[in-house]
Chains A and B, each alone.
Chain A
């Protein structure tokens, strides 16, 4: 049960409950633990429990367990038959003792189930209504997420345009249609007489003249009455507000989307390191049941794997720096040149069209659409040029993509800007032309007068320029008007209408949008479809392989296409104020584009060879859109703020500025107090502080963001550290396991050998956190504290207190404990740090051979311990096996400065015994000091426990638990031990408890090491009552000779491992305090084995070194 609970970290809460039970039922489980798999043990468990029913508490616990099992049975990886069996048993037991579920409960459950099903159904239905979902999924499965991201973006744009359309439609177009003055009632809504004849010509319609021009589609149609209809709808105000709301809404929706995206990318950013794994193990969608979908999915999987491979390979690519830099500079120059060229061309074309309009009355189709066509051509061709140039740069494909996108964006923006600037220029020049005409007709003069005034006030410099530059044209126009004398009136009307520059801009924008659409369609058909057909059907009878060599199939270029969408949207934003129908038109356009594109992609495009995950580019797209929106808003706002609205048409005619409508409304239609309030609010007194506040706010938020970023980075680093720790740990566990297996052979004969070896080995993974406590022999200056604790009942409690487990330095302690126990015979007795139990105060001075011998090796670490004299052996075994004598830590204080403390304190607690005497001593001590286990909250405990569990895992061979990160705890631990130098008592308690903990936990898993006899003893020790001494006694005889044997074999190993430990833990806190050499030597003399003496001397030398470096 523990194992299963451990195996499911997510069930932390269950675990809480479990642990209590476990501690009680441990006995039962332990019997079956060796079976090692849950499935087996669970069954046995039940058998065992049935037998155990006498104890009421256990019955209760049993019920709980059964319930637990019933509720978690789904989560067990057993075959159904077994599940059913276990379930039946568990239910029987529970039903026997427990009441049954109430009827209402059953209904509730049923209701919940139905609700869940209903929710799923609703979800499924809503999915059905997401437009083009299936289409996009299909494309996604064929072409990967990159191409799909284009369509998703398109769909999103479509959504935005729907909202914009609804806004303009509901608040501007519909009211005007319903309540506005009807068509033909007002001059601004009437087609001029001269044009009526040609108003329905295709030619006129095409250039958006005629009926189209005098319709709700354009600004000029809207009347300037302040209120229309019976309800008094304020159309001009609404027009203005909607115009602004279009921008506001776009901004808000964009920013929200971006924020959401960045949140998402943040969440997924940390999961980068399993790319390939997920691509393999999580790639297949098990839901797929349709052959076509399976085909698509396979294609998608292959595609994504290729993507990943490509990305991987790109990481490795390398090239000489100088070449690359020069190439990149060249590429950028080329790009700049082409940008400048395109801007110049556009400006030139607009200029030329102005000229043409002036010089010719009848314009050809080409001349009328020249501007739009040229702009569209540039937008089509330039990206390909950029792409060619980008190949020079040899950047990472993703970077290339971004560069490409940025360049294309700049190009599009340049196009739009040069166009709009040229248009505005044209607006100005049109006014100039009017002015020049006033010599010819008095009618015009009167009408154009205000225009001239306004222009001269607003843009005098422009006027001047125009006048000078177009003076030759004026000369031309004059004869022209005279020549067309019959059409003079018409011409006047025409110029009057043309003065509606807002309409003109709107027309141009709409024209541009239409031409752009045509070009898109044309390019799709020509470049993708025809080429696809050509390649497909002619490749058989061509001199080279068309499919792989020159024309190939068209690739779907995500970057350009997305950019094109953005550009398209930019045109809408730019023109929406002047042509309210633009969003509606765009909706249609996007629908058409969606179908055409998806069809083209599926039929005649091949997946782009370098498709990258678009999820992260998404925000990039959005950022560009935002940029575009901002830049497109500028000209509109500029025009609104700077130019005077046309005096004869549009909702704002007669006003000085378009935005005057707002102040006018406020003045006229709001109460006086509001007016004054607004006056205050807009005064600099309020505006300036508000602006300041805004700046401060921005600064504050930015600093917060910076600090958050910093924290974020730190956390990420920490995570990485932990992960590497994880890796290390797992690796070391594996090593330990391996070692363990190896040892398994010898185990039977050399049991204790295996144990000590194991312990030393297992300590190595803990290097970071482990404390190596080296004790040197007793001397006058040193004192040895031995602590023993009685576990007994405390065990359960400590266990449950341990919930937040942390990995620990238990192994170190473990082996230390071993040594300590073995040294025990040397006459050191258990005494809790605080309460030394001293019987013979004079112990200090005595240098017992037994003491010294074990100590010296101990400094070195593990193995030499076994050298303890025969007299001591029984005790050491006792110490190990019997729970009462848990732990004796020998700590040596060597430096003279510290002499005082040990000297004063130790003596009274000391009891120097003959080795024999100790045997009886320990148990007594232990009982006495059991009280002190109250300190069990010491965090040390957790460490040890964790460690133990790891060991359990190793030994049981269960894979169920993943290693826990422990770097943090590791960090903490050393300090604790370091403090320990000065405050022995505290640490010792900690260690002590840990030891207890260990011992307790130990019981099952360690049996392997300990051997059959001792294991049985240990199990006894687990009982609520302190184990009987007899148990320990009987063990000691068994193990005695084994330990002796082990000495020789494990000697070298232990030294090696211990020195390793020392070296590796130099940065940690080693308490190495060596004793005086003379003591050692004297002790050595008494050691019977020469080998051990050698090792001791070695140890001393090393210890000295260590002291130099560490203490």
Chain B
């Protein structure tokens, strides 16, 4: 597997992979879950006398399938590398601490047209300023991938729309969202009207701003949230 192996070690790929696709890969992981009570008793007896059972079956994921499944991560790394070839090393086996500044990230074609690009990048960056490490980068696209669950997407959507990071979507956040969304083409009174409407609709506790439960409640019923809140890379 020549070249690509040098970017990540097998374990790294494995880890990413499990992170990425665990439900499928690990669905049959537990051998006991069905007959739990019985199995539990057996196991209790067993474990009490002996140290943990050695692994008898073969390895978790075969190398072949690792390579197959983690192509997307290699691809992501490729994209990451190509944004800033001079900063990002090709070799990621020792997990270098490299961050790409926000300006480069937002120039990706996938994000370029997005009105919330800065906010997205900031949300996913660990330092909050928008500089993304490779892990953050993977994180971003994993959340925005098609396979991410709705709850996760909702959490991050909330973070994205929460501009001032006060854990509430308040009126100023809404105004910002709206202005970015419409490129400030709406009249101010229209904006205020819409913001009021939004809060009226979604604010359950009457505090004049949306907290996460409000938001989740609302977004959970949206028909096309899942289909629009994802980026294909």
CA distance A73 to B18 in the complex (A): 9
Question: In the complex, which residues of chain A have a beta carbon less than 8 angstroms from the beta carbon of B57?
Answer: 99-102
- Does A95 interact with chain B (Cβ within 8 Å)? yes
Listed residue (A100, A279, A726) with the most chain B CB atoms within 10 angstroms of its CB: A100
Residues of B within 8 A of A483 (CB): none
Given A67-B30, A70-B22, decide whether A87 and B15 contact each other with a Cβ distance below 8 A.
Answer: yes
Whether A107 sits at the interface, judged by CB under 8 Å, is yes
- In this complex, what residue of A is CB-closest to B113? A294
B18 close to A109 (CB less than 8 A): no
Min distance, Cβ B176 to any Cβ of chain A, angstroms: 11
Interface string of B42-55 (1 = CB under 8 A from A): 01111110001101
Is A84 at the interface (CB under 8 A from chain B)?
yes
A289 touches B174 (CB 8 A): no
Nearest-neighbour CB distance to chain B for A414, whole angstroms, equals 40
Taking CB atoms, residues of chain A closer than 8 Å to B190 are 305-306, 309
Minimum CB–CB distance for A645 against chain B, Å: 54
| CB nearest to A7 among chain B residues | B151
- List chain B residues, Cβ under 8 A from A287: 228, 230-232
Q: Is B166 an interface residue (CB 8 A)?
A: no
A274 and B202 form a contact (CB under 8 A): yes
Nearest neighbor of A93 in chain B, beta-carbon distance:
B52
Provide the B139-162 mask, 1 if CB < 8 A to any CB of A, else 0.
100101001111110011100010
Beta-carbon contact of A113 and B21 below 8 Å: yes
Taking a contact as CB atoms under 8 Å apart, the answer to whether B216 and A962 are in contact is yes
Most buried by A among B115, B126, B213: B213
Query: A544 at the A/B interface (Cβ < 8 Å)?
Result: no
Q: Is the CB of A963 within 8 A of B213?
A: yes
B212 part of interface (Cβ distance < 8 Å): yes
The interface-forming segment of B62-70, B77-85, B86-94, B98-106 is B62-70
Taking CB atoms and an 8 Å cut-off, the chain B residues in 159-197 that contact chain A are 161, 167, 174, 177-178, 181-183, 185-186, 190, 193-194, 197
Would B213 and A962 count as touching, CB distance under 8 A? yes
Find chain B residues with CB under 8 A from A305 CB. 178, 182, 186, 190, 194
Write the nearest CB–CB distance from B145 to chain A, whole angstroms: 10
B23: nearest chain-A partner, CB-CB: A71
B135: shortest Cβ distance to chain A, in Å? 4
Known A8-B151, A312-B193; contact A102-B58, beta-carbon cutoff 8 A: yes
Whether B30 pairs with A103 at a CB distance below 8 angstroms is no
Instruction: Please report the C-alpha to C-alpha distance between residue A656 and residue B133 in the assembled complex, in whole angstroms.
Output: 87
Question: Which residue of the partner chain B has the closest CB to A737?
Answer: B205
Cα–Cα, bound, A70→B44 (Å):
23
- Bound-state CA distance A279–B115 (Å) is 15
Does A96 reach chain B (CB closer than 8 Å)?
yes
Cβ B22 vs Cβ A74 within 8 A: yes
A99 engages B53 (CB within 8 Å): yes
> Quick check: which of A75-83, A183-191, A679-687, A898-906 contacts chain B, the rest being far away?
A75-83
In the complex, the answer to whether A301 meets B181 with C-beta atoms within 8 Å is yes
Let me know if A103 and B62 touch, CB within 8 A. yes
- Contact residues in A for B138 (Cβ distance below 8 Å): 80
Encoded as 1 (CB less than 8 Å from any B CB) or 0, chain A from 114 to 126 comes to 0000000000000
Q: Which residues of B contact A70 (CB under 8 A)?
A: 18, 22, 26, 29
Q: Which residues of chain B are within 8 angstroms of A961 by Cβ–Cβ distance?
A: 213
B178 touches A271 (CB 8 A): no
What residues of chain A lie closer than 8 Å to B217, measured between beta carbons?
962
Q: Is A559 an interface residue (CB 8 A)?
A: no
CA distance A83 to B12 in the complex (A): 12
Given contacts A79-B139, A276-B201, A291-B113, contact A100 B60 (CB under 8 A): yes
B129 contacts the other chain (CB 8 A): no
Instruction: Classify chain B's interface size.
Output: 35 or more
Which of A72, A83, A101, A278 has the most chain B CB atoms inside 10 A of its CB? Answer: A101
A-facing residues in B2-57 (Cβ within 8 Å): 15-16, 18-31, 33, 36, 40, 43-48, 52-53, 55-57
A673 at the interface (CB under 8 A from B): no
B139 CB contacts on chain A under 8 angstroms: 79-80, 83
B181 shortest CB reach to chain A, Å: 6
B204 within 8 A of A: yes
Q: Tell whether A98 pairs with B113 under 8 Å between CB atoms, given A60-B43, A962-B217.
A: no
Per-position 1/0 for A288-299, Cβ under 8 A of B: 111101100010
Asked if A362 is an interface residue, CB under 8 A from chain B, the answer is no
Spot the interface stretch: A624-632, A661-669, A728-736, A907-915: A728-736
Chain A residue nearest in CB terms to B189: A309
Residues of A within 8 A of B118 (CB): none
How far apart sit A81 and B223, CA to CA, in the bound complex (Å)? 32
CB atoms of A97 and B58 under 8 A apart: no
Q: At the interface, yes or no: A613 with Cβ under 8 Å from chain B?
A: no
A67, A88, A277, A309, most chain B CB atoms within 10 A:
A277
Contact A60 B225 (CB under 8 A): no
Residues of A within 8 A of B61 (CB): 101, 106, 109
* A87 adjacent to B18 (CB under 8 Å): yes
A727 contacts partner chain B, Cβ-Cβ < 8 Å:
yes
Min CB gap A687→B, angstroms:
48
B40 in contact with A60 (CB, 8 Å):
yes
Pick the contact of A286: B43, B152, B229 (CB < 8 A): B229
Type the 1/0 row for A776-803, where 1 means its CB is closer than 8 Å to any CB of B: 0000000000000000000000000000
For B116-146 the 0/1 string (1 means CB < 8 A from A) is 1000000000100000010110110010100
Measured between beta carbons, the chain A residues less than 8 angstroms from B45 are: 56
Is B18 touching A959 in the complex (CB atoms < 8 A)? no
Q: How far is the CB of B77 from chain A (nearest CB, A)?
A: 13
Q: Is the CB of A99 within 8 A of B55?
A: yes
B181 and A101 form a contact (CB under 8 A): no
CB pair B222 A57 closer than 8 Å: no
In the bound complex, residues from chain A placing their C-beta under 8 Å from that of B18 are 70, 73, 87, 91
Contact A101 B60 (CB under 8 A): yes
* A59 touches which of B24, B47, B161 (Cβ 8 Å): B47
For B155, give its contact among A17, A77, A95, A301 (CB under 8 Å).
A77
Asked if residues A98 and B201 are in contact (CB atoms below 8 Å), the reply is: no
Report whether A56 and B43 are in contact in the complex, using a CB–CB cutoff of 8 Å.
yes
Decide: B204 and A730 in contact? CB cutoff 8 A: yes
Residues in chain A near residue B183, CB distance under 8 A: 298
For residue B75, CB closer than 8 A to chain A, the reply is no
Residues of B within 8 Å of A102, CB to CB, are 57-58
A425 to B167 CA separation, bound complex (whole angstroms): 77
In whole angstroms, how far apart are the Cα atoms of A7 and B155 in the complex? 11
* Interface residue A745 (Cβ < 8 Å from any Cβ of B): no
Chain A proximity of B75: nearest CB distance (Å) = 13
Contact assessment for A74 and B142 in the assembled complex, using a CB-CB cutoff below 8 Å: yes
Tell me if A101 and B25 are in contact (CB < 8 A): yes
Which residues from chain A contact B28 at a C-beta distance below 8 Å?
101, 105
CB nearest neighbor in B for A60: B43
Partner of A109, one of B24, B126, B218, B225: B24
- 20 sampled A-B residue pairs with Cβ under 8 A: A7-B151, A67-B30, A73-B22, A77-B156, A84-B19, A98-B30, A101-B58, A103-B58, A105-B28, A276-B198, A285-B228, A286-B114, A288-B113, A294-B113, A298-B181, A309-B193, A727-B205, A730-B204, A730-B213, A733-B205
Binding site for A on B (CB under 8 A): 15-16, 18-31, 33, 36, 40, 43-48, 52-53, 55-62, 64-65, 68-69, 109-110, 112-116, 126, 133, 135-136, 138-139, 142, 144, 147-152, 155-157, 161, 167, 174, 177-178, 181-183, 185-186, 190, 193-194, 197-198, 201-202, 204-207, 211-213, 215-225, 228-232
| A interface residue numbers (CB < 8 A to B) | 7-8, 10, 17, 20, 56-57, 59-60, 63-64, 67, 70-77, 79-81, 83-84, 87-88, 91, 94-103, 105-107, 109-110, 112-113, 268, 271, 273-291, 293-294, 298, 301-302, 305-306, 308-309, 312, 726-727, 730-731, 733-734, 959-963
Contacts A77-B152, A98-B53 aside, 16 further interface pairs with beta carbons under 8 A come to A7-B151, A8-B151, A56-B44, A56-B48, A73-B18, A277-B219, A279-B194, A281-B157, A281-B219, A282-B225, A284-B181, A287-B232, A733-B205, A734-B205, A959-B167, A962-B213
What 6 pairs across the A-B complex have the smallest Cβ distances? Answer: A80-B135, A294-B113, A80-B139, A56-B47, A276-B197, A959-B212
